[in-house]
Amino acid sequence: MDRFTETTSVSWGGRLKQSLIGMLIGIVLIIACPFGLFWNEGRAVTTAKSLDEGAGAVVSVDAGRVDRANEGRLIHLAGNTDVSDTVADTGFAVTAKALRLYRRVEMYQWKESTESSTRTKLGGGEETVTTYSYEKAWSNESINSADFKEPNGHRNPRMDISGQDFVAKQARLGGFALSRDVLDQLGNWEPLSVPENRLGAMRSAYRGSKPISLTQDGIYLGNSPDEPVIGDYRITWVVVAPGELSVIAKQVGNSFAEYQTAAGDGLLMTAEGIKTADDMFAAARTENTILTWILRGVGLVLLFVGFMLVGGPLAVFADVIPFIGSIVRLGQGLLAFSAALLLGGGTIAVAWFAYRPLLTVAVLAGVAVVIGLFIYAGRRKPAIV
């Protein structure tokens, strides 16, 4: 592994200038995050209402027969999928009787890693020691070596072959044709083995100049899989095979489309296996809850970062004496954490009242009752025996 170490220094004045820029970014975060948190609560309510609306309107139908009376309605069906043709990756003459076929591509490239350590010096300056490490690795994304700190000797060629998704044109679920929107949601991938007798066809289809050889998982583009060089490729294929599938969507002819709810969201859901409509809506509600909490957490973290950036100049001032700067940063962190919780929690509470007024009043009433019971119990005098 190649290594390159660089030591940089920033004066106290330079750090102060950086912290002032950071303060402006922090102000933007503090202003923007409450709007994001408020939006998230609205999104969660809209999705919940849409799911409730869909659960009340959905009709379970027989997958084997298309009933024209259900045209435009939200339907649920489950059964076995089938394909009448093959899906193909013509670039390598790979075919499969599957719902989806995906080409996975990795190229052998240089990869840069960095490790940094920073210390604050007396007087407020800062010294950073950064070590850049270079190693050869397989990557499914193109790594731009022009961005390396030391590109000489670590140059990557352009990645000319990329991953690609192919879907069956004639896939069915009983009497219904599976639309592209439905197929794009399927992701129960299985590896596809490449038979040895296909190697000749693959060499004819491949337009590049690299030698092709079979591997246990797929093919190798390069001279030797055991001794890879920069620019070699490993390519494998995975498929979504026909099997049991459940769908909730709007019936359009003998196919599916997104069902637009009055609440605001469009509904088009799939699930591997035979699932009831109730099971699919329950899973969707769980996903909505999880996403809501994840976005709440992201919003609170960004608020914390914003408050820390706003207080950055004060910490830099204190770093004239590094020990004092550490104490200031500790206090700043506690204040930023508290401020993020207050502003973020307050925003969520206001959004709850705006989007769920009846539920909010019910929760507050319940809390008031509990507090009242505790007060009442505390004032009762114990009986004298």
Q: Give me the pLDDT at residue 349, please.
A: 86
Q: Give me the pLDDT at residue 385, please.
A: 47
Residue 132 CB coordination number (10 Å): 18
Domain boundaries, the chain: 11-51+289-379, 58-108+150-275
DSSP 131-174: EEEEEEEEESS---GGGSSS-TT-PPPP-----EEEE-SSEEET
> How would you write the pLDDT of the chain (385 residues) with one tens digit per residue?
688 888 888 887 887 888 899 999 999 999 999 999 999 999 999 999 999 999 999 999 999 999 999 999 999 999 999 998 899 999 999 999 999 999 999 999 999 999 988 887 777 778 888 899 999 999 999 999 999 999 999 999 999 999 999 999 999 999 999 999 999 999 899 999 988 888 999 999 999 999 999 998 999 999 999 999 999 999 999 999 999 999 999 999 999 999 999 999 999 999 999 999 999 999 999 999 999 999 999 999 999 999 999 998 888 878 788 888 788 888 989 999 999 999 998 898 888 888 777 766 766 666 567 677 767 776 765 555 4
Q: Note the residue count of the chain.
A: 385
C-alpha pair distances (Å), 13 with each of 124, 138, 314, 319, 369? 8, 43, 13, 11, 57
64 phi, psi to nearest 5 deg: -80, -10
Q: Give me the pLDDT at residue 366, please.
A: 66
CB of 62 closer than 8 Å to CB of 173: no
Span 334-354, pLDDT tens digits: 999 999 999 998 898 888 888
Closest CA to 170 of 247, 81, 231: 81
Residues 6+ apart with CB under 8 A from 48: 285, 288
Q: Give me the pLDDT at residue 121, please.
A: 79
Span 243-258, pLDDT tens digits: 999 999 999 999 999 9
Classify strands 269-272 and 255-257 as parallel, antiparallel or unpaired: unpaired
Classify strands 74-83 and 59-60 as parallel, antiparallel or unpaired: parallel
